[in-house]
Amino acid sequence: MQQYSDQELVSGVLRGNPAHQSALYQQYSVPMFRVLLRFARDRAEAEDMLQDGFIRVYRDMGQFRSEGALGGWIRRIMVNTALSHLRKQRDFIRDVPDFSAFESKLRTEEDFASNMDAETLLTYIHKLPPGYRAVFNLYAIDGYSHEEIAEQMGISIGTSKSQLFKAREYLKRILDKSFIS
């Protein structure tokens, strides 16, 4: 497939050129799908997010300003799309009071038999409640601050900190004895 620069992709998409539309998708679908897989509970939901996200990318391409990287702009759209999906879920922000029930889901032999590659870590993330998952992704991996998370998710800063702490606790309990500390 022909490689285009970001500027060529943008101008081509704005003209409605199918070749540029396809090239943009081919160039950014995999990295964006990796991001969305961390926010979704499963692969199917991540694909729904990816489809909605790319539709917004093509629709809003006229708003892209060339000061920043196209990839960063698309990534922000994808994260916003993921959060919109998560907000629609009834248990988006909730506590999991019974930690043992949650822990029992993860403590299986196959969970710890893996070598902790991205695909394996993804399975752990998918088992977190949506709010924990979103806050952990935004803070620990994507580098958002609690203020930014609170604004993006429509929650308080205290809630963001609380959700992050609990997410870490869950993940650490799974991993600490074997791989961490």
Partner 1 sequence: MTGKENFEPLDELFRKTFQDLPATPTASGWDTPSPRVWQGVQSQIKPASTGWALQTWALLAATAVIVAVGLYFTFGRTEPAPAPTPLPIEQPIAQPPTVESAPKEAAPATAVEKTSAKPSGKIRPSTTTEPRPNPAVNSSTPRGAENRGSHQATPLPGSNPAAPNSTEREKEGKGN
Contact residues for partner 1 (CB under 8 A)? 15-18, 21-22, 25, 29-31, 33-34, 37-38, 43, 46-47, 50-51, 54-55, 58-59, 116-119, 121-122, 125, 136, 139-141, 161, 165, 168, 171-172, 175, 179-181
C-beta of residue 86 within 8 angstroms of C-beta of residue 92: yes
Collapse the DSSP code of 149 into the 3-class scheme (helix H, G, I; strand E, B; otherwise coil) and give the result. Answer: helix
State the nearest-atom distance from the C-beta of 90 to partner 1, in Å: 25
Nearer to partner 1, 4 or 25 (CB): 25
Least distance in angstroms from the C-beta of 77 to partner 1: 13
Nearer of residues 90 and 118 to partner 1, judged by Cβ: 118
SS (H, E, C) 54-123: HHHHHHCHHHCCCCCCHHHHHHHHHHHHHHHHHHCCCCCCCCCCCHHHHHHHHCCHHHHHCCCCHHHHHH
Which residues, 6 or more positions from 51, have their beta carbon under 8 angstroms from its beta carbon? none
Which CB, 18 or 90, lies closer to partner 1?
18
Using the minimum distance from each CB to partner 1, give the nearer residue, 96 or 121.
Answer: 121
